[in-house]
Amino acid sequence: MPAFPVLVQPAGLRFDAEAGTPVLLAAQAAGIKLPSSCRNGTCRACMCLMLEGSVAYGIEWPGLSRDEKEEGWILPCVAHATSALEIQAPLAAPIEAALATPAVARPLTGARR
Ligand code: FES
């Protein structure tokens, strides 16, 4: 399967996401923690802005509105890269650093950042 490079801003973290693998899992396999909770496309804890690229979803209707999709918001827990990606995920961090940092409280729904 092809893999697509993913650049995570603003930290400048990079990893490859294999086609068919959720971006969140590809990041985790590369030692990068992205915010998440349900991991099934409903809670929106992982919601982040896609600055470049394209994704497809492994579920029929991820928890995003049509407007949010058009604005570039994605749910990495269920989104598969279909091209090189650049995403904005301010809370992304290498897993070792994420373990050393206290969790940040975030709303489970309606969170855009
Ligand atoms: S982790 Fe819940 S929607 Fe992605």
Query: Does the reported pTM lie above 0.75?
Result: yes
What is the CA(68)–ligand 1 centre distance, in A?
15
pLDDT tens-digit readout, 50-63: 999 999 997 877 78
- For the CA of 42, the closest atom of ligand 1 is 3
Which residue ranges make up each domain of the chain? 3-93
3-state SS class at 94? strand
Range 3-93: architecture per CATH: Roll (3.10)
**Cβ–ligand 1 contact at 75 (below 6 Å):** yes
Residue with tokens 């804890």: 45
Phi, psi of 85 (to 5 degrees): -125, 150
pLDDT above 90 covers what percent of the chain? 77
3-state SS class at 100? helix
pLDDT tens-digit readout, 4-20: 999 999 999 999 999 99
